[in-house]
Amino acid sequence: MPSNSVKVFLTEFDGGIFGYDVQVMNENATVGDYLAALEDFQTKTLADCKGCDGCCHERAPLTLADFYYSEYYQQGGRKIAAWLAEVADLQFFGQAADLTIRRTADGACHLLDAAAKCCARHQYRTFTCRSHCCLPKSERAEALRAAIINAGEDELLRRLLAELSETGAMDFLPGKARLSGADAADYAANGFSRLPGERWREARLAEIADAALWRELQQA
């Protein structure tokens, strides 16, 4: 059930194109409020994806939320590194590590049922998948989604590095050797960092959006 803290609504852009916009109605609005409002909007406004798997061939960053959504966690697993070994690809852009959902050789998400063109593990899909609407979006809606996903990926990396520094287990992903030079402190703390991981939904949007975006999000 969405709160009234975040509003997601249809709007008409220049050129008569319809899409969606996001407005924050409460300074304490959280990531959970945002996702609930977006999911409610999707349910009421959009058709389901049956017959299309377009998004499942695109890069999907992994975030802290995805550890808790995962089949691995829900079946009792508690090690981020062990989960990533099952589901993630690790790449580097310069010094920055990038964790994404693992792709098959043809570039599809490994959870895609290619014959049926649908997600084979829909209940465990990622935050990136859940927060995607098949509609154009306003600049502030796009910027907010990107800020949450980036903060969630940074926080996943921070917690992975903290876990690895305790366990010393680095043998989990191709490319992991470069992670051994990184430190959890290399990833700036954000709105997710002060919470126990499983309470990621309580992260405040005000601690994730930068000041300019936060002002824009509150405008009618």
Nearest approach in angstroms of CB 22 to ligand SF4 is 17
Alpha carbon of 46 to those of 20, 42, 69, 206: distances in Å? 11, 5, 23, 28
Residue whose token pair is 């979006």: 137
- State the amino acid at position 189 in one-letter form: A
Alpha carbon of 206 to those of 41, 57, 90, 202, 211: distances in Å? 22, 32, 29, 11, 8
Choosing from 109, 141, 157, 164, the residue that interacts with ligand SF4 (CB under 6 A) is: 109
> Binding-site residue total for ligand SF4 (CB under 6 A)?
17
Choose one: 27-35, 47-55, 86-94, 175-183; the region binding ligand SF4 (CB under 6 A): 47-55
Enumerate residues 6+ apart whose C-beta is below 8 A from 171. Answer: none
> Is residue 116 a contact residue for ligand SF4 (CB under 6 A)?
no
Nearest approach in angstroms of CB 91 to ligand SF4 is 17
Q: Which is nearer to ligand SF4, 119 or 205 (CB)?
A: 119
Choosing from 25, 55, 114, 195, the residue that interacts with ligand SF4 (CB under 6 A) is: 55
HSE-CB of 164 using CA atoms within 13 angstroms = 24
Say whether 146 sits in a helix, a strand or coil.
Answer: helix
Choosing from 22, 112, 147, 217, the residue that interacts with ligand SF4 (CB under 6 A) is: 112
Choosing from 56, 147, 160, 182, the residue that interacts with ligand SF4 (CB under 6 A) is: 56
* Site for ligand SF4, rule CB under 6 A: 49, 52-56, 60, 101, 109, 111-112, 119, 125-126, 129, 132, 134
